Structure 1
């Protein structure tokens, strides 16, 4: 039997949570990947909560302060134990899914629906399952795995939580305001303040929340009724929130004149792709996102996606036609909903939400990687609301049991697929093997698979993939550095030197090849050459304790104990938690004292 939408919300929310917990139950030991290294593992800013809250955290990245605050809290509670990070990420995902449920349920109670179907909440219909189905699609879909399982991509999921929470509070405030009643007047104001606070948190978590005021305005005009003056007064505070992201840029410590003159750099993320080329490519990327929403197969962390340079490219032209058709469909459904089926408006709203929220990362702001699955996390909210509304329309003539069975099978299949996708994330080897199988012609997955093999001391396999990575991306230094490191450790000195020299030629400012070349010279007894490379590395990275330690080892080896003590002391002071640095310092001091004693006794 299909229940009324308000009859068992607690049971429905419990179902949502249980499905989400099942789908992500195998993620709690997934290791750190990619940007987790710089954002968490080697990020000293998040490792001292007092300093972080004292101003260093905001200075580190003012536009994403809330997101990095959550990382700092995780580190304070559990250090680099990944379990705590994954528990937090899953909790964010589950809360967001519950908010999707609540927002959809509130939308069905707005004046637009109440005027056209006043008895909807008193009757039993497939529409009563609409909020539940939207939330279940959101929580169970495998396309969400990158935003949930990839730890630092909580910036996308946490921003989405605040985004949906803000719109939920706004919708609730508007419903109470329209209902009137003296005792309720303070509640809309409080909820409006909560909506503004959530909006601020969203925009201080990730820049994608810049689109929130536009979605709020769209929501207001589609589902509520009010005179123009009163409506303007009600939505004005939220529309002003659009300034938060630009103000965050101005507050980054740079002169405003420099910021205005450097708009091109500010709206570009580590990419030299032209704006038009990026836009052309994004037409095909968005089509790929849509395909993954309907057919979530061949997911990858690192797509080998081409950059297109013209509207004349067939994939670009066909994708553009599809996207224009979708936009026109949303406008057609919006018009039809005014005099026909009200759920058509919810479908239209979901489609428009998808395009609006995707516009920050899939328009004319070039980003180095043209496609990443976590970018669909926020847009998918609108997509799943639209799909749930469509399902509600199509299932009206089905028996109640058949409707529930179809819903159950779809959600179960999605959750099982998500579980299987998360299993791939379980180790670096399985993860990068999967990426290489789906993009064999791309250098980066090959290089990361080589690193995974190297960490397991499977040097022969590591070398094969490192050489392939260098062949596929000959302009990148990292594969050559890994080749040189492996060959140096296996005694192939000449080949190692050649590979490391090539890495240095390609990127002389990268520290690792200098260190590795210094290591190779040191193990070969070429102390002068080793010291030369270590000194270059030290100039590039003066806070790296390992370089001081290595220089100390060389100085101790040539019996220059005074210098060895100095460099070991530097290493130990920078990294006091490293016992090997302390042992080396104590040993050098002891040898120096014995040497000085022998000199005095002569």
Structure 2
């Protein structure tokens, strides 16, 4: 038997990972990266992490800041990942380069961890040595995972460090657990075991899907290490005791919000507009879609328009369920073989682990039916299972054809690398990313709306108008489309079209205070001051807590020479917004009026 060195492969992974992603360092924040990072006051305030030690006080303090419920709940459930964002902020503010460096490093480390994990298992099963031809599965599994374009959303899309960092802790827990079993030195075993518990607990605060990691450890120990089930259950018993951490934390979040006299509907980031049964049915199809995208990665989309399946009798659901059952049946058959080989065990493990890795998002409804970053951990066992199958075929071929299999997989790696670069280029600007999404989901509200916002930022106003109009057609009940359509018309000086847009939104949404303020501004710019005052008075009647309509009323009354009304309005605005120094200056100007 010949030993081989792992170091060249590790070095190659580092080199390839840098080559595939380094040019993205200067790319801007896009989509939720702005929502959860740039516009999130929790990320810039280190004290907020300490306040998590008392969730009741945390909720009381930060609900007052009117922070969006999704941001608040995500911050509570994933504090470790958010803390890494805070460290990025301390290092370089909101310069995206440092954030991207960390994301790329995590992705490269994940490929290395999977490679080392598989190598250790194969080495153990081969008597602590590896044949020259047994490098195949670890190397190509890690390589194809590293270069696969489906991973771009978890790397280049900064906020999805949630997915990649969760994967990092998942793999680290598995690797340390294996080391705690296989290492001959007792104190190394104990240290690795303790380390696996620490990474599990920390990882649970990076991404919730680590709740399934203890089950993966049992699967790994029994199927790949071929240890007795009883022994593995004993070894993993402490890890399994950690599983309630996530459910308890989620329950605690719900309880705190309920005690704060807020309905669970308004705080939960897990609220969706479809029944759980239909969501779970749809996820059966999503799993097959992910599998297809891992083999043939076409049609990638940051915001896919995925259908909701409502019946188990739907032909596509029937096919999906049959395929999943066939995969499970294959795993069972392989485990029942009398003379099963390592590849049989690896394929069995990968089938069950792939389903386990995606189970949380498959059974607990999330707002989006499908997003690519959910496939990040899932992709590892799927790719590895396919590579194992290629390896089994290769072992039955002549040397010439066996070499051709290796060449084929290298060519696949090259193709995936090209597609990864192509996909990454779309993240170079929000407009490129969202216009790509619009081309694939033309009837969906969010891609059209975000494409319009991106076009406004680039001062491409005619294009922005078109996207906002399309967003309204896609969902006429989303008032943001009317608001931004009107604002774009105002920028172009088309006051009457802006007024029409705001009026259309109010006809749908009733007395929405934001639309009323915008309409008042449009009337003012059109010179219709009396109409502007009437609309703004209506806005403050609907919502007494907004300072902006009071400020605008103060300016309008001052312009009309109504000093007393102007003073009342500006002082009310100052009560609501004590930070705005412009209101002080405005009051001083009003006091000068006679």
TM-score by length of 2: 0.87
User: What SS does the corresponding residue of 1:302 show, helix, strand or coil?
Assistant: coil
Among candidates 419, 440, 443, match of residue 442 of structure 2: 440
CA–CA distance in structure 2, aligned partners of residues 341 and 315 of structure 1: 34
How much has 1:547 moved relative to structure 2? 6.3
How much has 1:130 moved relative to structure 2? 1.8
- Contact residue 511 and residue 539 of structure 2 kept, 8 A: no
- Contact residue 283 and residue 320 of structure 1 kept, 8 A: yes
CA–CA distance in structure 2, aligned partners of residues 156 and 297 of structure 1: 21
Partner of 2:489: 487
Among candidates 429, 432, 441, match of residue 430 of structure 1: 432
Q: Taking structure 1 as reference, are residues 137 and 263 closer, same or farther at Cα in structure 2, changes over 3 Å only?
A: farther
Partner of 1:131: 138
Q: Taking structure 1 as reference, are residues 129 and 226 closer, same or farther at Cα in structure 2, changes over 3 Å only?
A: closer
How much has 1:150 moved relative to structure 2? 1.2
Partner of 2:98: 84
- Contact residue 45 and residue 56 of structure 1 kept, 8 A: no
Q: Taking structure 1 as reference, are residues 26 and 470 closer, same or farther at Cα in structure 2, changes over 3 Å only?
A: same
CA shift digits 1:492-512 (9 cap, x unpaired): 444433322333454468664
Partner of 1:44: 41
1:531 paired with 2:529, answer: no
Among candidates 445, 454, 470, match of residue 468 of structure 1: 470
CA–CA distance in structure 1, aligned partners of residues 305 and 50 of structure 2: 40
How much has 1:84 moved relative to structure 2? 1.6
How much has 1:549 moved relative to structure 2? 5.7
CA–CA distance in structure 2, aligned partners of residues 94 and 548 of structure 1: 53
1:477 paired with 2:479, answer: yes
- Contact residue 221 and residue 227 of structure 2 kept, 8 A: no
- Contact residue 551 and residue 570 of structure 2 kept, 8 A: no
CA–CA distance in structure 2, aligned partners of residues 566 and 401 of structure 1: 81
Partner of 1:303: 304
- Contact residue 555 and residue 563 of structure 1 kept, 8 A: no
Q: Taking structure 1 as reference, are residues 563 and 557 closer, same or farther at Cα in structure 2, changes over 3 Å only?
A: farther
CA–CA distance in structure 2, aligned partners of residues 403 and 227 of structure 1: 36
How much has 1:217 moved relative to structure 2? 1.1
Partner of 1:198: 199
Partner of 1:21: 18
- Contact residue 534 and residue 551 of structure 1 kept, 8 A: no
Q: Taking structure 1 as reference, are residues 201 and 515 closer, same or farther at Cα in structure 2, changes over 3 Å only?
A: farther
The aligned runs of 1:326-475 (5 Å cut-off) are 326-336=327-337, 338-363=338-363, 365-396=364-395, 397=397, 398-399=399-400, 402=404, 404-475=406-477
How much has 1:530 moved relative to structure 2? 5.2
CA–CA distance in structure 1, aligned partners of residues 284 and 545 of structure 2: 41
CA–CA distance in structure 2, aligned partners of residues 468 and 539 of structure 1: 33
1:213 paired with 2:222, answer: no
CA–CA distance in structure 2, aligned partners of residues 462 and 151 of structure 1: 25
1:156 paired with 2:163, answer: yes
CA–CA distance in structure 2, aligned partners of residues 208 and 230 of structure 1: 25
Partner of 1:578: none
- Contact residue 426 and residue 432 of structure 2 kept, 8 A: yes
How much has 1:257 moved relative to structure 2? 9.8
Q: Taking structure 1 as reference, are residues 357 and 549 closer, same or farther at Cα in structure 2, changes over 3 Å only?
A: farther
Q: Taking structure 1 as reference, are residues 490 and 105 closer, same or farther at Cα in structure 2, changes over 3 Å only?
A: same
How much has 1:570 moved relative to structure 2? 6.6
CA–CA distance in structure 1, aligned partners of residues 589 and 267 of structure 2: 55
Deviates more, 1:306-315 or 1:499-508: 499-508
How much has 1:489 moved relative to structure 2? 3.5
Q: Taking structure 1 as reference, are residues 197 and 220 closer, same or farther at Cα in structure 2, changes over 3 Å only?
A: same
How much has 1:160 moved relative to structure 2? 0.8
Deviates more, 1:433-442 or 1:294-303: 433-442
Deviates more, 1:304-313 or 1:372-381: 304-313
Partner of 2:176: 169
Partner of 1:500: 502
How much has 1:449 moved relative to structure 2? 1.6
How much has 1:333 moved relative to structure 2? 2.1
Q: Taking structure 1 as reference, are residues 285 and 233 closer, same or farther at Cα in structure 2, changes over 3 Å only?
A: closer
Partner of 2:586: 588
User: What SS does the corresponding residue of 1:273 show, helix, strand or coil?
Assistant: coil
CA–CA distance in structure 2, aligned partners of residues 563 and 294 of structure 1: 66
CA–CA distance in structure 2, aligned partners of residues 510 and 77 of structure 1: 41
- Contact residue 550 and residue 572 of structure 2 kept, 8 A: yes
Deviates more, 1:288-297 or 1:248-257: 248-257
CA shift digits 1:526-550 (9 cap, x unpaired): 24135326536864667xxx66765
Q: In structure 1, list runs of 5 or more residues that go unmatched.
A: 575-580
How much has 1:50 moved relative to structure 2? 3.3
How much has 1:54 moved relative to structure 2? 4.2
Q: CA RMSD in A?
A: 3.1
User: What SS does the corresponding residue of 1:303 show, helix, strand or coil?
Assistant: coil
Partner of 2:114: 100
Q: Taking structure 1 as reference, are residues 311 and 68 closer, same or farther at Cα in structure 2, changes over 3 Å only?
A: same
CA–CA distance in structure 2, aligned partners of residues 466 and 230 of structure 1: 61
CA shift digits 1:390-449 (9 cap, x unpaired): 232233334576455333322121111101100012111211111111122223222222
Partner of 2:318: 317
CA–CA distance in structure 2, aligned partners of residues 354 and 138 of structure 1: 14
How much has 1:250 moved relative to structure 2? 3.5
How much has 1:86 moved relative to structure 2? 1.2
Partner of 1:270: 271
Q: Taking structure 1 as reference, are residues 567 and 92 closer, same or farther at Cα in structure 2, changes over 3 Å only?
A: farther
Deviates more, 1:206-215 or 1:554-563: 554-563
